Amino acid sequence: MRPMAQIAMVMNLDKCIGCHTCSVTCKQAWTNRRGTEYVWFNNVETLPGQGYPRRWADQNRWKGGWERTRSGRLRLRAGGRARRLGTLFANPDLPTLDDYYEPWTYEYKNLIDAPAGDDMPVARPVSQISGEPLDTLQWGPNWDDDLGGAPEHAPKDPLVEKVREQVGEKIRFEFEQSFMFYLPRICEHCLNPACVSACPSGALYKRVEDGIVLVDQERCRGWRMCVSSCPYKKVYFNHATGKAEKCTLCYPRVEIGMPTICSETCVGRMRYLGVMLYDADKVTEAAAVTDEHDLYPAQLESFLDPRDPAVEAAARASGISDDWLEAARRSPVFDLIRTYQVALPLHPEYRTMPMVWYVPPLSPVVEAVAASGHDGEDAGNLFGAIEGLRIPVEYLAELLTAGDTYPVEAVLRRMAAMRVHMRARNLGEEPDPAVAHSVRLTGDELEDMFRLLAVAKYEDRYVVPTAARADADALADSHPLDAACPVGAEPGRPVLLNLAPTRRTV
């Protein structure tokens, strides 16, 4: 056992209202300068839809993530070292600007400075890349929001194409038959990041102390192999600096115990931030399991229980501080992923072992059952309706469990059981213990799960230790940067933007 700590995030899709507040605040904090006009470290997509960049989930096209060879080893889908070196100057798997969108502004000055006259002044769209007027706007980062143009764009969703043969008429795009939900996305800060392995210059690295994946701007040479190898397309190229950039999980905030800016400003309070302990010795084995349906349970098994005395002792021996252990014990992320098992990873079939997980959305099933003349809050009716949800379980499974519907159904049943249990409690009735037992939980656990998912306070949703900041300050005091390297850094390699010990992993 080799315990390591990772800052992880869970998003409750049942509460996301698609307001894009997280995207706007992230944009203002991190990508509001020249060269990042088209870059959104955080974006919110409407599903079904093509996403941003368009069809990012189509790895047959983009060759992102890992694949398992016949011998049982993992290799990058982008190819081995020889192929990547051969395409170093002409990478065929890069999204174009059109796949993202050509960012634009408007000639607002015309509206202000236009002389008085009979004609109404207009503000034409102007490209933020070239400065030239744009005749027509073709695409944007939220072009298919709220089923915008669903009959035209939604069938091009790679997940819809994949499952349509299975579910047939369950996925239809006539307005009255449509379904939708929102998917906020950031960098997954994976345990097995493909972008780190693909970088020829070694500029991308995963911090040992908290698992955050960053780009060393000094080392980056702009090869963009990280862009093509990231299956989530969350690494971007800054055309002004010639460097790669990505979500930093707001590490300057995390280091002082504050949540990420997207979490802090989330209107729906649907984000959770906390510490997960995992066994580093199990990562490669878990990512290389034969059956893609086993990837989710394999990653689940790689997580360690911080309340286990043996894990606690091994973590201390590995250098994990008491502050981090206490944060891991109080982690809302651990409870949602391991204790209640209602959060699932995004596209585990990419074998990167992502660390941003999602609670799947529960369709308005109560109203649907009630409309049929039955009690929508009755456990039997509610459980029976899950297979007929407006959002097909098969679609959610392709998104979160590599196509395996069983874990998704189990999560939806637990959420439905929580709803039934809390309805009885709120009406002053005695909840039926059989409801909780049917989903392998107790009544107390359902109530704890409700408090976490529905009414958790700020300090319960974000449990971020500050030990890294204290350690960094102590390190800076004892070893001036001009006299010595930080602990774990390579000699002669500057540690950019942060004082926390920054180490590269292989």
Range(s) within the chain of domains with CATH label 1.10.3650.10: 269-278+289-461
Averaged pLDDT score across all residues of the chain: 85
* Band (492; pLDDT cuts 50, 70, 90): very low
Q: For the segment 325-367, what is each residue's pLDDT rounded down to a tens digit?
A: 999 999 999 999 999 999 999 999 999 999 999 999 987 665 5
- The percentage of residues in the chain with a pLDDT greater than 90, rounded to a whole number, is 62
| Residue 204 structure tokens | 């991308």
Q: What is the DSSP string of 63-77?
A: --SEEE-TTS-EEET
| Helices and strands (DSSP H and E) totals, the chain | 24, 15
- CATH value of 269-278+289-461 in 1.10.3650.10, 3.40.630.10, 2.60.40.10, 2.40.10.220: 1.10.3650.10
pLDDT at 103: 94
Query: Where is mean pLDDT largest: 156-160, 170-174, 186-190, 416-420?
Result: 186-190
pLDDT at 93: 86
* Band (16; pLDDT cuts 50, 70, 90): very high
* Band (177; pLDDT cuts 50, 70, 90): low
Is 464 in a helix, a strand, or coil? coil
Q: What is the DSSP string of 5-18?
A: EEEEEEEETTS---
Residue 95 carries which DSSP code? P
* Band (384; pLDDT cuts 50, 70, 90): low
pTM: 0.87
CATH class of the domain whose range is 17-101+141-251:
alpha beta
Residue with tokens 């009406």: 427
pLDDT at 91: 81
pLDDT at 146: 84
Q: How far apart, in whole angstroms, are the C-alpha atoms of residue 75 and residue 495?
A: 29
Q: How far apart, in whole angstroms, are the C-alpha atoms of residue 485 and residue 504?
A: 14
| pLDDT mean over 301-311 | 95
Q: Is the pLDDT of residue 497 over 70?
A: no
pLDDT at 87: 76
Closest by Cα among 245, 237, 247, 236 to 212: 247
| pLDDT mean over 489-496 | 35
Q: For the segment 113-132, what is each residue's pLDDT rounded down to a tens digit?
A: 888 888 888 889 999 998 89
pLDDT at 470: 54
Q: For the segment 191-206, what is each residue's pLDDT rounded down to a tens digit?
A: 999 999 999 999 999 9
Pick the more confident residue, 503 or 11. 11
Q: Is the pLDDT of residue 288 over 90?
A: yes
Q: For the segment 217-249, what is each residue's pLDDT rounded down to a tens digit?
A: 999 999 999 999 999 999 999 999 999 999 999
Amino acid at position 240, single letter: A
Q: Is the pLDDT of residue 481 over 50?
A: no
Q: Is the pLDDT of residue 368 over 80?
A: no
Q: For the segment 256-266, what is each residue's pLDDT rounded down to a tens digit?
A: 999 999 999 99
pLDDT at 364: 63
Q: How far apart, in whole angstroms, are the C-alpha atoms of residue 151 and residue 409?
A: 28
| pLDDT mean over 428-434 | 91
Rounded alpha-carbon distances, angstroms, from residue 74 to 247, 286, 401: 25, 11, 19
Range(s) within the chain of domains with CATH label 3.30.70.20: 17-101+141-251
Compute the 3-state secondary structure of the chain and give helix, strand, coil in percent, each to the nearest 5. 40, 15, 45
Angle at 476 between CA 472 and CA 480, to 5 degrees: 155
Residue 220 contacts residue 201 (beta carbons within 8 Å): yes
pLDDT at 252: 92
Q: Is the pLDDT of residue 504 over 90?
A: no
pLDDT at 79: 82
